[in-house]
Amino acid sequence: MEVPILKQSDYLIATIQAALTDEDLLKLHYALVEQVGKHRSRGVIIDVTALDIMDSFATRTLRSLVHMVKLRGADTVICGIQPEVAFTMVQLGLTLEGISTALDLEEGLALLTTSNNKKRKI
């Protein structure tokens, strides 16, 4: 199942809607890195509310996705990690260090907007 990517002003929003195969996750990876340039986006939100697990592969892929998007000049926020998913990730030893996270889509958008405004002032 492919992940739809929506463009909203300066941002791209990718909402994961069901369990993804490794291949789907890699496709999302390439699509986002490409579309950041195409739409000249300043930020990307990956909404993982519907993901019922985050295993080591998903965590590793998301981590590299965030770094690649960063190299393309945009910030990423991962939002919607469910409580039991967070619990399991920590027990498993998986971390998203250095990556912005937010409770939900609304908070994620707010976080991107704040960091963008700060950048513009500089």
Partner 1 sequence: MDGGSTIAITSDSDIIVARELGRRVGRELDFSLTDLTIIATVISELARNIIIFAKHGDMIIETIRHGKKVGIVITAVDKGPGIPDIFLAMQDGYSTGKGLGLGLPGVRRLMDEFEIFSETGKGTRVSVKKWLM
Chain contacts with partner 1 (rule: CB under 8 A):
19, 21-23, 52-57, 82-85, 87-88, 91-95
Q: Which pair of structure tokens corresponds to residue 63?
A: 């981590």
Q: Which is nearer to partner 1, 23 or 121 (CB)?
A: 23
Nearest CA to 77 out of 94, 103, 101, 95 is that of 101
Q: Which is nearer to partner 1, 74 or 85 (CB)?
A: 85
User: Least Å distance between CB 65 and partner 1?
Assistant: 17
Report the alpha-carbon distance of residue 56 to residue 99 in Å, rounded. 16
User: Least Å distance between CB 59 and partner 1?
Assistant: 9
Residue 45: count other Cβ atoms within 10 Å of its Cβ.
25
Q: Which is nearer to partner 1, 40 or 57 (CB)?
A: 57
User: Least Å distance between CB 58 and partner 1?
Assistant: 8
- Radius of gyration (C-alpha) of the chain in whole angstroms: 14
- The partner residues of 13 in beta bridges, in order of sequence, read 6, 45
User: Least Å distance between CB 20 and partner 1?
Assistant: 8
